[in-house]
Structure 1
């Protein structure tokens, strides 16, 4: 005699049993027929949630982390739009000789913007609108194809990589073929021409000063024309604070990118292969962990004739990779004996493919959290070096302004960079905490 348990039922009967609502015995009750093809499992499959969707949903529940993310987006926007807000070059310059547009020509002028960091952000400023518009149109066209979510995202990622490579190619071309025009102080030139009775029409940015412009009254406090005052060298503090965002964000991101790359390579190698390779890499990690980072960086910078922000980024990246290496090693030790790794080895996949395409994506969670906190640490370290006089003197660093405030005792030179450092580091730390909580499965609801 066959059992009447659910295992003996046919698959045709299962949807009817699971989806038929209980009958209502009321006088006006009507029995609704079950909808065809609708089930709990079908609904979950239609959502097709990725791991990124789950993490982002959890991250959004942390209001402080979301607010910090928006604050960082605001800082990035200010860094990109800095020449639009503050520049000594007018958008339009019209005299009896004709009309010119000096502001556009100054964006890639290596005599006006010496640091490649400024050229990088200026290139983003120029290409952001066309790339954003084309990207929006392309995303709409891909979504109109009615492809599965994972397929759509895979295609978008592939095309985004091409856009990034194209942007880097443009950046290299701008660096290899620089433009150099004689520097003209249009503000003073306008004053001289108007004093001579010549007619001049000029449209300047809201703050008509560059971060290198001098000639103002030294150590003047905040005023209507200089909202954050003047530093020891007669330069506008507000403009230097604005362009200092570029320096801080670049050093933080690039330095972290360098030491995350080193840490992932060494940690993945140690965790996957184990044995004497693991022992050797662990000893190397312990040696670097025993070195005091700040003193090592100061010592190495002392051997450089003229320290630049790129020297600082490379040095920070070469000495701060140990934490990422240990995290990556621990994740690889946990994952290397999982079934999907064993199956990949049995199928004959190359070890490089197993490490970077199968294990590494599942081990990046703790690394991303460490990177978020690492950007804040790198910004603090760069500000410390600039405060000690070991930074790039040609870059408008917040630490330099703080040092001038300390030496002169002027409150406006201490408060502005101090608050900027505190705000940026706090936002990065809060975002890192939110990312850590979002990646922790124990805290998901």
Structure 2
């Protein structure tokens, strides 16, 4: 695997790669600061003689019955607040609408509302956190599993390699999405953590195959032979010499994997077997649009967020692939 400075210099040569990376960074910032972009409570509040710092994050018990609209109506002469960009939470209904219906974008709701009066912008912003959480955690889990199984199979060979290869072949015989859909449907309930684990436990096979192939290649190198000759343990050889030089394709696969996990989460939530109904999710917004004959703002904006996210991670993955080893082109896409 090439040095990190060389990889970076190769990666940044293409403007498209940097645009993809900038989009990924922007998405991460949106996910981290979602409560400051859209929340039912202020960022800072001085109300009835009390001062509240970051009630939008902490949700203090004294403010559980309040929201930004009610606070502004109840403000006295000395009360004031610093509001988020959009003063609506992802699960907050706009009671001023007088009934549950999807409302097009206006000054009160920049991207409109869904069928029960929830702000679409707030749902998309907080849905970014859900999407990236699923992507990072699920991919982290299956990369870890794939590295361990692939490294053991490639380094030790024999029965370990045979058994792991047969398991991988069996797993790959099932279409991944429908396999995950079936598992989710059989489980008694749905949650974000459960979805992460299900994706992580069903998508490790590609990483295991990549790591196995790289380990088989690396173990023939002279420095591995020299380490064995000095009496180094297998664990030390794998950890110090084999894995660090086998992870290039894994980084590429992980970038593509985040995009895949985000798409799976959105698809499952759209079908009603992803995250639970109160969890803000792009797929949930799209699912809700079905009950109101698909108003354009409830499909266009979450669809656009999904499109840019998938495109950004795929662009970064392709850029990493070309920077790490151009010979990988076409093998990991």
TM-score, structure 2 length as denominator? 0.91
Q: Sort the Cα spacing of 1:398 and 1:442 in 2 relative to 1 into closer, same or farther, 3 A.
A: closer
Match for residue 68 of structure 2 among 187, 190, 203: 187
CA distance in structure 1 between the partners assigned to 2:80 and 2:3 by the alignment: 56
| 8 Å Cα contact 2:154-2:211 kept in structure 1 | yes
Structure of higher RCO (CA pairs closer than 8 Å, 6+ residues apart): 2
| 2:186 alignment partner, SS class | coil
**352-361 or 209-218, which deviates more:** 209-218
Match for residue 34 of structure 2 among 67, 71, 82: 82
| 1:265 alignment partner, SS class | helix
Deviation, structure 1 residue 404: 1.8
CA distance in structure 2 between the partners assigned to 1:71 and 1:198 by the alignment: 43
| 8 Å Cα contact 1:190-1:200 kept in structure 2 | no
| 8 Å Cα contact 2:44-2:55 kept in structure 1 | no
Q: Are positions 1:433 and 2:318 aligned together?
A: yes
Q: Are positions 1:400 and 2:284 aligned together?
A: yes
Aligned to 1:58: 10
Q: Sort the Cα spacing of 1:244 and 1:336 in 2 relative to 1 into closer, same or farther, 3 A.
A: same
| 2:8 alignment partner, SS class | helix
Match for residue 49 of structure 2 among 98, 102, 125: 98
Deviation, structure 1 residue 276: 1.9
Q: Are positions 1:333 and 2:255 aligned together?
A: no
Q: Are positions 1:301 and 2:301 aligned together?
A: no
Q: Show the 5 A alignment for 1:131-146.
A: none
Aligned to 1:203: 82
| 1:94 alignment partner, SS class | strand
Q: How many residues align?
A: 321
Q: Sort the Cα spacing of 1:399 and 1:358 in 2 relative to 1 into closer, same or farther, 3 A.
A: same
Aligned to 1:121: none
Q: Show the 5 A alignment for 1:149-168.
A: none
Match for residue 307 of structure 2 among 405, 409, 422: 422
Deviations 1:353-391 (A, max 9, x none): 111221001000111111110110000000000000112
Deviation, structure 1 residue 339: 0.8
CA distance in structure 1 between the partners assigned to 2:42 and 2:327 by the alignment: 56
Q: Are positions 1:376 and 2:259 aligned together?
A: yes
Deviations 1:213-244 (A, max 9, x none): 11343200011111110101110000110111
| 8 Å Cα contact 2:39-2:87 kept in structure 1 | yes
TM-score, structure 1 length as denominator? 0.69
| 2:261 alignment partner, SS class | helix
Q: Show the 5 A alignment for 1:25-424.
A: 51-95=3-47, 97-101=48-52, 103-109=53-59, 183-190=64-71, 192-193=73-74, 200-216=79-95, 217=97, 218-392=101-275, 393-408=277-292, 409-424=294-309
Runs of 4+ in 1 over 6 A off after TM superposition: none
Deviation, structure 1 residue 259: 0.6
Deviation, structure 1 residue 79: 1.4
Deviation, structure 1 residue 182: 5.7
| 2:305 alignment partner, SS class | helix
Deviation, structure 1 residue 104: 1.8
Q: Sort the Cα spacing of 1:416 and 1:272 in 2 relative to 1 into closer, same or farther, 3 A.
A: same
Q: What 5-or-longer segments of structure 2 have no aligned partner?
A: 329-333
